[in-house]
Structure 1
Amino acid sequence: MLTRIWATRKFWARSESAGLLALCLLAGAGLVFASSARWVAVAVVALFMLFVVGALALFAARRSRVATDRIVAHAEKQNVATAENIQRLRVEMLYSPARRATQAARPWRQETSSFPGSSYAKPLYSASGYLPVYLELGEEKPDHRWLDNTILRNASTTGRDLLAWRASGGLYDCAQIERLLRRIRDKKNSSQARSAIAALDPEWAQRLARIMGLQALQADDRLNALTLYAAIYAKHGPAIVSSPHTHARVFQALAYDMGDYALAEEITRKVRCSKYDLPFMLADLRNPFTSSPFADPDRWLDLLNQNFASSGLEPLALNADLGAAPFDMLHCPPAQLVKSGPLISIAMSSWRPGEEIFAAIRSVIAQSWQSWELLVIDDASPSEYGEVLERIAVLDPRIKVLRQSSNGGTYLIRNAAMREARGEFMTFLDSDDWSHPRRLERQIAPLLQNSELMSTTSRALRANAKLVFNLPGVIAQRENASSMMFRLAPVRERIGYFDSVRKGADTEFALRMRRTFGASSHVIVEENLSMIRLTSGSLSREEFKLGWRHPSRAAYRRGYEHWHRSSQARDTPLRMPADVVVRPFPSPRRFMIDPIGANAQARAAYDIVFAADLRHGTDAVRALFDEVRATKRAGHKVAVLHMESFRHMQRIEMEFYWEPIEEAIATGLVDEVLLTDPTAIDTLVVRDFAVLQFASHERSAFDVGRVLVVAGDPPRDRLGRMWYEPSECLRHAQKIFGVRVGCTTCGMQAQDELRAGLAPVFFATADLPEIIDVPEWQAPRRPLQGIPVLGVILDSASDAYPDTPEELFATYAGCGSFQVRVLAEDLRPSKARGAPENWTFFDAGIVGREAFLAGCDFYVRFDRHDDAPPRRSRDVLEAMASGAVVVLPTPYAQLYENAAVYCDNVQLADAIQALYSKPAAFEAQVERGRQYLAQSHAPDAFVSALFRL
């Protein structure tokens, strides 16, 4: 309809233009002829006609413009309404019960993937096959942070598609939304793009904007984030951005960072910002050292000093004679000096020192606490920096300059300072930071008042060289780790020194101290006593973003946390010598003092690396663990690689690994490699397709011979939920590892679906056998006496997991005379009404499968989908290996042959009682299970099969 109106309008406009042009030409010709013939009357008439034609032309142009504006406005209104209707209908359709019920039965779509050589068909609506599954999983979590933090933690750009798809009701992925945002900024044909963005769900759209702005992985991420935030703000007003406060902080920081000061200022007035963020936002807008049109030096300094005045501290001033950068101009003389007291030793490391080190040293000289010594230890800077060090040495007689013979990093310098120090107390100051004159005085006060205290820290403000605080992804105020002040002698005696690594050792040292002396031995002085300088090239800024930390940082944290836990459990001292010969826990190669030394190089080449999500004891990880041990016994050099699966969303920034994996890494049974470490790998085995679905596409530092992706489970589970799209996962793997990727299966359940969909060129020549390391599962068992003990494992990812507690109890209703033990991730069924008294529930997060199965005589598993084909399950193999008799539904006989007992749940009690009453028959069945494992699931079979592929 609009097209026809527009065409008609153009026809009449063209007709009017042609008529007016003809009249204009006629009048002009008449005027020229009359003027030459001196016909005054005719000339006057011709001139009058020209004026009339001009007036008509102006009127026609105005009418055409008004009509055009009305048509465009009507079109935009219809576009918005259409987009909103499509979004509403698409969301209703994709999340309706009918959609979920029919999803399992929906045939594969006939289009093929764009992955070369792949014929794996995608489900209806392209990627919507797995996106709604993960969205539903995220919405089942306590709050939105579980999904958002998982995307941030993994630096995943493909994870953004979840938010984009949900925000648009299934219309757009993130790349399409980014194209719309660019069209808005281009301002050419931007009306449709604005309408499409305006129709997005505002809650999900601003979550997408926040993640783009914080990740900043692509060149225009922050610009796109600001454009999206601004569109949401323009459409829905300040209220939508005000809750939660995190959106206001990121939105305002992006506007300020991109130079849109007017918008940044408007946000501070109209959007409800956090009381902690607002003062820093206002200060940045008044900062006279930026291009802000709202700059006001006096007001800016007042706002800055509010952070110190609230604690009764002297206000700051700026002295332009002290340095070129505003940070270096900081100046604050104390009102009163404390001339006597215990000596405090201050350690400062130096590497290629510039003028900024003098600002840090001046802040020490200005301290109100006069009893101090400053140890400036240079980390083997080149000789041309000797002049700077000489200038430092003459600034104050309490300053001592030392030089290291070789470069070893901050923590070797701190260890040297701890040996050299004469003070009763020790603290630190980074060479580019600044301390308030009252810092030493305020931090030592609690230690002097309470002899039981061992350490204090204080808070700090974080700003760049121009004293701008509210930067994207930066929290302007935090506890200052380098401000730690402690009693030197007892700390040196009980816990020793800092770990001899290049990064991360300050947090380990602080936690080791508190775990040795007790949590109450430390106090945080809740005052801003320092300024931390933020620089783009600093070690910490490159390896930390809000919600993300470098993999090496996470690996180091896991390593020392395991050491702390195991040492406390054994009641052994948490002591680190200054010169470590044998490390108490492994260190990432990136943290080594000599990362290119011979020992490091020897550790950087592996025959096989196994990759999986190592945080949980899933079937894939349990299988991986047995495969690691098997390949190690065969003489191969083996490592593991952690790649996170979105199936296990988590809110926290870092999780520990499954305990057996952590123990294996800590004891040196297996090494851990990181995607960022240069590593030579002959064969990389990715043990789960799902870890590739949302993996970061950043190219790894590996030099890989071949990559093999192993499917233990099919893409869809029995409920029809799609957890991975194989061709996409293979494409992602090729981007990450840079080599052609093959795949195979481990267990029969994934073979049919994968082989039916992927081209044969991607498949290995054979399948890998699923193995079980039987000796590792054998443990002393109780004699057969008294009441039989039945074991049930409820894994939320398994087919045996019930829909309701009532369904679970009904399945095993005939087992009232037995002890029924249930190992479950979710313990809510234990609190359900009607829970049988003979049932005992165990938390799978506390009790391991080995210990659980060792206490069970029988292991039973009855699926909730009796009509579905039986699938192999690792818990069945583990139960056989532990010495329990496995009881399964009759259809499973085609999988496990005589290794298990088969019946339906009605016959279950009779079958168990008959076998339990005959110990010889019971032991014979146990032996049949172990023989089956030895024949079909022996570890040696895996190793030989892997190298034959």
Structure 2
Amino acid sequence: MKVVPKLNANYYELLESYAGRIRRKMPQVEEHALLTKSIKYRDVLATTVVGRGTTYDELSANLDDLANGEIDFAVLASLGRIVALQNINTEDRANGRKFIHAANENLPRTKLFQKYRQLEFELIFESASYSEAVAYLNANPELKEVQDGYLEVDVHNPFLGSENCEYTHWQHGFNKIFESYGRMPVALFGDAKNPFDRLTAANDLNQITDGPLVSVIMTSYDPEPEAFIAAARSILNQTWRNLELIIIDDASPNRANKLLEKLAEEDARVKLVLLTENGGTYRARNVGLEVATGEFVTGQDSDDWSHPERLESQVKYLLEDPEAAGVMTSAVRTDEKLSRIMPGLSPTRKCEVSFMTPLHLAREVGGYLDARKAADSEFRQRVEFYSQRDVGVIHDALYIIRLMPNSLSRGDFSSGWSHQSRRAFWNAALYWHSNTPASSLSVRDEPKVPLPIPHRFQITKPAPNELDIVFAADWRMSHGWQRTAVDEVKFLVARGLHVGMMQMESPNSNARTSTKPNLQIQQLINNGTIAQVTSDQEVNIANLVFHDPSIMQFPTTQESNLRVGKIIMAPFDLPSDINGEVIRYLYDDCTRNTQEYFSADVEWSFLNSMSQAVGEAEGGGVSVLPRAWPLVLDLESWSGKNNLGINSPRKIPILGRSCQNIYSHWPMKETIQQLWPTDDSAEVWILGDARGALRNLNENYYADNWVSFREGEIHPVDYMRAIDFFVYFPSEDSDENLCREAFEAAAAGKVVILPEKFRDAHGDTALYTNPEGVAQLLEHYWRSQESYQVQARSARDTLTQMFAGGNDLEEHFRSLLTLV
């Protein structure tokens, strides 16, 4: 495999370009860095810290030598948080703490920056520097008030070996999470090795013997005896006495029969089921649903602990609100020593396993999906959608989750990050729930799982997939170029190819959600048209395609097990704008990073409209394919029988324009006002986030005649059919000469007006002029319906010639791709 040498001359300029663009959106920057686990992205933050091209390694080495006036301490705090919480390299916690400390020493002690002071304390505590932690709390007393004072309580935890420990003080503080809601306090009793397993609470004050039977399902697999007994007894010691504890042993290799049978002998309310084949906790829970006899059913994990008042509170909630589909409680997270401090994580969360619902409803929906992980939240959401009733939440912490380093789910989560498979499963489930009639959400009589289960979560591991082509992209966005990629997918699938998608976050993303792909691509995943690929799968991919090379400018560090034959970089954006202020990626960096990550050769292919990039790329030492990348547009999606012409009756036209929230994509103030009036002479509908235009207009709010449809607020087809004209002029110094949305508007039967430099790419699909000539064209075609229809038909005919040649397009793709 050819390894491209590193050409780093422009890297600092690229970093400075990114730094200039991220200053206004630091919360999103932190989210992106944690979600991608990219080490190289730290260089962008380092450059932002000092205001000039600087790598993370350089900043780490020279931080102590920098004068305060050279440092943006707010960004340094963000960088420290990212490094500490990514925790990829052995020195990351220490370096992150170093950065955060330097920032906190110089930032104002306001609420805005409190999360950095809290994280610094958490890192001190994690290092077992307990005296230093006490001093830090005393110097930052506001931290003592966070969530019932849990930070200070943990400093006094007697099981951590701190010289500041004091059992009575700690116990009083630990019980605030219960007593603040009027719940009975807990104590520790017995001689179990771990404090967690000694948890107990009095349950003889208000024991309730009358009322509906509650079935509690607890699965086990080779349980640790003390933890298992503690979990079981926390249910058997509930104030709600009318319960059955159904224990399903999932074919433990070291049969815990004696332990389980002893428990059943001690309490007649224990039902024991021993499975002979391991199928995972959710398959075991479904067995529990079959044997349950209660009116309500809920769960309990075999290494967690329930407060004695948990079941009572949940049953009362459901009896008082019979319209509720169910109820869950909040939970507190601790380790085995009952310490709640875990850097970057809240000590409380909603508790999925505590979900209680009527047994008949749980059976009606068909129980849990056949997956090894993540099926509990899907089950709860499906109950809500199926019943069309809400699930309530009791905010009292009536459940304690034991976080263990080797737990089944611990490796799927860290602060700001969740495993790709988790996100894929959640998104597929939400799409299914949201787009399926309620009555069809039951899987009781369905032999086939109704949504794709990620390979990692499947009970029986499938054979490795064989895919002809996978598109790696940031599928969370739904702008024009993303729709082009979707059209490519549909076209290739229609030609019999096996196609997949892989979600990889882009540093240039303006996505408003951290996890959800756009609906078009999620639909294709859910209906089985394409496969969703995660990097840890064992998949054979003949061709891996990127349309956004910047994804690999700052690559993830997450593992890849993919076996890739050939990689094609087919960018829809040039590496930089014409004046070099916005630099998106460097050819050599992206090629080298991609080769290293996927262990496959990389070739580049460009759209015909980007012919100037070919020489630049070849000059940078990368391999360029001899044929251009084809542009795909599904005309049928946009055209309609009766949408040629102006939408009437209306006194003024609706002018359309597409955009993202990037001010440099817009022309200057005078040109904006010339092209898209801010008076009542026309309505202006923007497809996308138009805040970039506001910046150039020096305005805080849109004019009364302007409407900005941000992502998800209108379907692009509905938008294009509603407008009368599509007027697209980028900024004066832009080298852009192709606009996907302009093709869409023409396909929808609208008159399109573009600058002259777009003519080569768009041909007779549009009219061309300069900004001064737009008003005259609008006036003519608005007044003359006949002229409007002639232009619209001409544009449609041209589009048909450009995009309807399916056989030629297929041959073009086959010449670019390695296909069998």
TM over 0.5: yes
Distance, in Å, in 2 between the alignment partners of 1:382 and 1:823 is 58
1:602-641 equivalences under 5 Å are 604-641=465-502
The one-letter amino acid of 1:845's match is G
Residue 761 of structure 1 deviates from its aligned partner by: 4.7
Distance, in Å, in 2 between the alignment partners of 1:859 and 1:262 is 66
1:793-804 equivalences under 5 Å are 793-796=657-660, 801-803=665-667
Contact 1:772 1:938 survives alignment (8 Å)? no
Residue 836 of structure 1 deviates from its aligned partner by: 8.5
Which residue of the partner structure matches residue 639 of structure 2? Answer: 778
Residue 505 of structure 1 deviates from its aligned partner by: 1.5
Residue 195 of structure 1 deviates from its aligned partner by: 5.9
Which residue of the partner structure matches residue 97 of structure 1? Answer: none
Distance 1:287 1:198, change over 3 A: farther
Residue 300 of structure 1 deviates from its aligned partner by: 1.7
Which residue of the partner structure matches residue 823 of structure 1? Answer: 687
Segment drifting more, 502-511 vs 346-355: 502-511
Which residue of the partner structure matches residue 352 of structure 1? Answer: 222
Residue 401 of structure 1 deviates from its aligned partner by: 1.0
Distance, in Å, in 2 between the alignment partners of 1:814 and 1:195 is 48
The partner residue of 1:499 within 347, 369, 383 is 369
In the alignment, does 2:5 pair up with 1:139?
no
In the alignment, does 2:148 pair up with 1:281?
no
Residue 847 of structure 1 deviates from its aligned partner by: 2.4
RMSD over aligned CA atoms reads 3.3
Which residue of the partner structure matches residue 16 of structure 1? Answer: none
Contact 2:764 2:794 survives alignment (8 Å)? no
Which residue of the partner structure matches residue 269 of structure 2? Answer: 398
The partner residue of 1:668 within 528, 551, 566 is 528
Contact 1:226 1:251 survives alignment (8 Å)? yes
The partner residue of 2:55 within 154, 170, 173 is 173
Deviations 1:823-865 (A, max 9, x none): 343278799999596x776555322332333445654433442
In the alignment, does 2:138 pair up with 1:269?
yes
Distance, in Å, in 2 between the alignment partners of 1:403 and 1:790 is 68
Which residue of the partner structure matches residue 691 of structure 1? Answer: 551
Which residue of the partner structure matches residue 83 of structure 1? Answer: none
Contact 2:16 2:53 survives alignment (8 Å)? no
Which residue of the partner structure matches residue 337 of structure 2? Answer: 466
Distance, in Å, in 2 between the alignment partners of 1:841 and 1:213 is 38
In the alignment, does 2:422 pair up with 1:553?
yes
The one-letter amino acid of 1:668's match is G
Contact 2:548 2:571 survives alignment (8 Å)? yes
Contact 1:898 1:928 survives alignment (8 Å)? yes
The partner residue of 2:569 within 686, 693, 709 is 709
In the alignment, does 2:675 pair up with 1:811?
yes
In the alignment, does 2:216 pair up with 1:334?
no
Residue 301 of structure 1 deviates from its aligned partner by: 1.8
Equivalent residue of 1:251, what SS? helix
The partner residue of 1:130 within 3, 14, 20 is 14
In the alignment, does 2:435 pair up with 1:601?
no
Which residue of the partner structure matches residue 62 of structure 1? Answer: none
Distance 1:710 1:470, change over 3 A: same
Segment drifting more, 428-437 vs 287-296: 287-296
Contact 2:658 2:728 survives alignment (8 Å)? no
Equivalent residue of 1:346, what SS? strand
Residue 371 of structure 1 deviates from its aligned partner by: 0.9
Distance, in Å, in 1 between the alignment partners of 2:126 and 2:704 is 62
In the alignment, does 2:18 pair up with 1:157?
no
Which residue of the partner structure matches residue 715 of structure 2? Answer: 848
In the alignment, does 2:813 pair up with 1:943?
yes
Equivalent residue of 1:342, what SS? coil
The one-letter amino acid of 1:440's match is L
The partner residue of 2:743 within 859, 877, 890 is 877
Residue 146 of structure 1 deviates from its aligned partner by: 1.6
Distance, in Å, in 2 between the alignment partners of 1:220 and 1:940 is 51
Give the number of the structure whose alpha-carbon radius of gyration is greater: 1
Contact 2:543 2:817 survives alignment (8 Å)? no
Distance, in Å, in 2 between the alignment partners of 1:910 and 1:314 is 76
Distance, in Å, in 1 between the alignment partners of 2:790 and 2:115 is 66
Which residue of the partner structure matches residue 402 of structure 2? Answer: 533
Which residue of the partner structure matches residue 412 of structure 1? Answer: 283
Residue 920 of structure 1 deviates from its aligned partner by: 5.4
In the alignment, does 2:385 pair up with 1:489?
no
The one-letter amino acid of 1:279's match is G
Which residue of the partner structure matches residue 449 of structure 2? Answer: 583
Deviations 1:247-276 (A, max 9, x none): 233212211111211221112111131623
Distance 1:781 1:518, change over 3 A: same
Which residue of the partner structure matches residue 20 of structure 1? Answer: none
Equivalent residue of 1:535, what SS? coil
Distance, in Å, in 2 between the alignment partners of 1:721 and 1:795 is 16
1:735-754 equivalences under 5 Å are 735-749=596-610, 751-752=612-613
Residue 423 of structure 1 deviates from its aligned partner by: 0.8
The partner residue of 2:240 within 350, 353, 369 is 369
Residue 417 of structure 1 deviates from its aligned partner by: 1.2
Residue 169 of structure 1 deviates from its aligned partner by: 3.1
For these two proteins, the number of residue pairs brought into alignment is: 803
Distance, in Å, in 2 between the alignment partners of 1:522 and 1:735 is 47
Distance, in Å, in 1 between the alignment partners of 2:96 and 2:711 is 41
Contact 1:789 1:857 survives alignment (8 Å)? yes
> Comparing both structures, which one devotes a greater share of its residues to helix?
1
Contact 1:455 1:486 survives alignment (8 Å)? yes
Distance 1:935 1:667, change over 3 A: closer
Contact 2:304 2:400 survives alignment (8 Å)? yes
The partner residue of 2:124 within 230, 242, 255 is 255
Deviations 1:521-550 (A, max 9, x none): 433223222221110011222111121111
Distance 1:134 1:580, change over 3 A: farther
Distance, in Å, in 2 between the alignment partners of 1:236 and 1:868 is 40
Distance 1:253 1:644, change over 3 A: same
Which residue of the partner structure matches residue 201 of structure 1? Answer: 72
Which residue of the partner structure matches residue 923 of structure 1? Answer: 793
Distance 1:619 1:724, change over 3 A: farther
Deviations 1:665-708 (A, max 9, x none): 12222111111211111111112112222221334110111111
Distance, in Å, in 1 between the alignment partners of 2:176 and 2:157 is 15
Distance, in Å, in 2 between the alignment partners of 1:821 and 1:232 is 43
Segment drifting more, 680-689 vs 481-490: 481-490
Distance, in Å, in 1 between the alignment partners of 2:589 and 2:352 is 43
Distance, in Å, in 2 between the alignment partners of 1:463 and 1:834 is 49
Distance 1:171 1:717, change over 3 A: closer
Contact 1:147 1:649 survives alignment (8 Å)? no
Distance 1:396 1:881, change over 3 A: same
Distance, in Å, in 1 between the alignment partners of 2:702 and 2:415 is 46
Distance, in Å, in 1 between the alignment partners of 2:525 and 2:308 is 46
* Gap regions ≥5 residues in structure 1: 1-114, 182-192
Deviations 1:711-766 (A, max 9, x none): 22211124531122222222221232122322221233264376356445522233
Aligned-pair identity in percent equals 27
Which residue of the partner structure matches residue 441 of structure 1? Answer: 312
The one-letter amino acid of 1:659's match is L
Distance, in Å, in 1 between the alignment partners of 2:397 and 2:335 is 16
Q: TM-score, normalised by structure 2?
A: 0.90
Distance 1:259 1:179, change over 3 A: farther
The one-letter amino acid of 1:888's match is L
Distance, in Å, in 1 between the alignment partners of 2:255 and 2:700 is 75
Distance 1:162 1:346, change over 3 A: same
Which residue of the partner structure matches residue 305 of structure 1? Answer: 175
Contact 1:900 1:929 survives alignment (8 Å)? no
Distance, in Å, in 1 between the alignment partners of 2:138 and 2:709 is 54
Equivalent residue of 1:453, what SS? coil
Residue 868 of structure 1 deviates from its aligned partner by: 5.8
Residue 436 of structure 1 deviates from its aligned partner by: 1.8
Contact 2:543 2:567 survives alignment (8 Å)? yes
Contact 1:286 1:299 survives alignment (8 Å)? yes
The one-letter amino acid of 1:543's match is D
Distance, in Å, in 2 between the alignment partners of 1:800 and 1:249 is 37
Which residue of the partner structure matches residue 83 of structure 2? Answer: 212
